[in-house]
Chain A
Amino acid sequence: MLAELDVRAAQLALDFPILAQPTSLGKRLAFLDSAASSQKPRSVIDALVHYYEHDNANIHRGVYELAERATAAFEAAREKVARFVNAAEPAEIIWTRNTTEGINLVSYTWGLQHLGPGDAIVTSQLEHHSNLVPWQLLAAKTGAELRFIEVDADGCYLLGDLEAKLRGAKLVALSHVSNTLGTIAPLEVLIPAAHAAGAVVLIDGAQSAPHFPVDVRALDVDFFAASGHKMCGPTGIGFLYGKRKLLESMPPFLTGGDMIRTVAYEDTTFNEIPWKFEAGTSNIADAVGLGAAVDYLDSVGMEWIAEHERALTAYALERLAAFEGRGLVIYGPKDRAQRSGVISFNFADIHAHDLATILDTEGVCIRAGHHCTMPLMEKMGWPATARASFYLYNTERDVDQLVTALEKAAKVFRLP
């Protein structure tokens, strides 16, 4: 089974021109940092070039053919993303720059509108700074209390006091998958509990939307934010899903052109959703590129991607376990059903940055540091970790290359 998955992944890797490029030292590239940003398939690169060569014009107002084509491509991409996450309609998808902007949009609109003293914002100890800092600021501005659902030493949710944590909660904001530990949040428990407590739920989907099927209606999530660049799309484009009723009730975020219906010198009426939240000329080309990325992911199959990453992660965990006697420590959930394709680790007394530097000389790209989760690292007592993360184009050969590079690191650092 694994062999079949691996053969297909190796074929898919050929769709990504950058992966065929050797490093300056002539090493084969083993790109194991897709949790930071994924590589782009040829079809996405082509879609960007095609847009600029054939369709480029400003959208929504032009009456000439080019403008109509650009508008159609832009809105078709929105429909693709809506289908991809199973939104009820394309109007529930708002273009943003990235997950961070989607979260800030909710904070500055719905958050400022609804939160006040005595209310609580509930998040977890696992969050990326992008799903923490906006809530710290919102709490400071509104007098709301910020609470954290705790996690254990493996980064698994502790749900014993969930009911108490959710008392008085108006907003629950959680990452679907932890970018540092790969923990998959138990949303099947958390979302109904949050709703029962009367809270609105926002999910940071930056690490889930690229890697397994997401159905916003089955999850019954109120807001869901994700980034295009982590899911084979261009940088600078992301999306925020919101339920129509919520989006309609919210004030605009940024204001200016395109988000208006009528403007007089004295006042303004706003456009309908989703355009109410898209002030100024949008990132049209990259939205079209993200549409192409979604087409690509659909053609590969999200179920297949999830299965492949599970198998590859299991293979990597086995290979890394062979180093445990020499001081390699793997972090994150022990139960493989609770973790995605992200492996954080440290190797003896080699600092994660030194490890990443040595691995780089073997063509292996990993992330090292605090992964934008400084409070989590502080809680766990880890100054830094190394992180390998997988995607649809990674193969056993990439993992084997990681293992070879770890042997080199052991040699460079004169480990026994």
Chain B
Amino acid sequence: MDDLYKEYILDHYRQPRNFGHLDAPTAVAEDLNPLCGDRIRFELLVDDGKVTDIRFSGQGCAISQASASMLTENLKGMSLEDVARLPKEAVLENVGIGISPARIKCATLGLKVAKSAALGEIARWPDEEPSENGRSK
């Protein structure tokens, strides 16, 4: 159990990083895990196809909230395409070993929401060849 609820997990649960809202987010997504009621919202500020600022909000178990908090730290500076392509392992590594199958959905909820925000924003981009500012379809 100490494997799962490591000191840094509890730290992120009790003092979540980048928690709150952005004044004018470029992309927003939220979702819930109906099994346990965990709820997470991600707000991204995007400039030049890259995440320049990020906030998350929501409520839920230590695993879902700490995982989302740690993810916000990973996403800053990342391109939306890279966010959209992030594998589950990215957050499972953050959380560490000891996640049971029943709790994987908790650990990956934040990632699911972040990817959904990124994909939503990419879908709104004009249908054009990659431009000089780095954006692509």
Enumerate chain A interface residues (CB-CB to B < 8 A): 349-354, 357-358, 361, 368-370, 374, 377, 383-384, 408, 412-414
Contact = CB atoms under 8 A, between A and B. Distances in A.
Contacts of B103: 353, 357
Interface of B: 1-2, 4-5, 7, 10, 14, 35-39, 59-63, 100, 103, 106
A289 B59 CA distance: 43
B137 to A, nearest CB: 39
A414 B10 CA distance: 9
Given A349-B14, A354-B62, A414-B10, A377 B5 contact: no
* Shortest beta-carbon contacts, A-B, top 4: A351-B61, A353-B61, A354-B62, A412-B5
A413 B100 contact: no
B100 A369 contact: no
A346 to B, nearest CB: 12
A368 B36 contact: yes
B1 A358 contact: yes
A370 B37 contact: yes
B57 to A, nearest CB: 13
A348 to B, nearest CB: 11
Contacts of B14: 349
A377 B2 contact: no
Nearest to B38: A353
Contacts of B35: 369
B21 to A, nearest CB: 19
Nearest to B58: A383
Contacts of A350: 62
A354 B61 CA distance: 6
A412 B1 contact: yes
Contacts of B59: 383
Contacts of B61: 351-354
A357 B2 CA distance: 12
Contacts of A368: 36
A349 B14 CA distance: 9
24 contacts: A349-B14, A351-B61, A353-B36, A353-B103, A354-B5, A354-B61, A354-B62, A354-B63, A357-B1, A357-B100, A358-B5, A361-B1, A368-B36, A369-B36, A369-B37, A370-B37, A377-B37, A383-B39, A383-B60, A384-B36, A408-B1, A412-B2, A412-B5, A413-B62
B95 to A, nearest CB: 12
A83 to B, nearest CB: 39
B10 to A, nearest CB: 6
Nearest to B14: A349
A383 B58 CA distance: 11
B5 A413 contact: yes
Nearest to A362: B1
A353 B10 CA distance: 14
B96 to A, nearest CB: 14
Nearest to A414: B10
Given A353-B103, A354-B62, A354-B63, A383 B1 contact: no
Contacts of B100: 357
A364 to B, nearest CB: 13
Nearest to A382: B37
Nearest to B62: A354
A352 B4 CA distance: 15
Contacts of A354: 5, 61-63
A190 to B, nearest CB: 30
A369 B63 CA distance: 15
B1 A413 contact: no
Contact of B106 (A349, A353, A370, A414): A353
A414 to B, nearest CB: 7
Contacts of A374: 37
A408 B36 CA distance: 22
Contacts of A413: 5, 10, 62
A404 to B, nearest CB: 13
A408 B5 CA distance: 12
B25 to A, nearest CB: 24
B59 to A, nearest CB: 5
Given A357-B100, A358-B5, A384-B36, 17 more contacts: A349-B14, A352-B36, A352-B61, A354-B63, A357-B1, A357-B4, A358-B1, A361-B1, A368-B36, A369-B36, A374-B37, A383-B60, A384-B37, A408-B1, A413-B62, A414-B7, A414-B10
A368 B14 CA distance: 20
B72 to A, nearest CB: 19
A358 B1 CA distance: 7
Contacts of B106: 353
A412 B10 CA distance: 9
A414 B2 CA distance: 11
B37 A383 contact: yes
A324 B91 CA distance: 35
Nearest to B103: A357
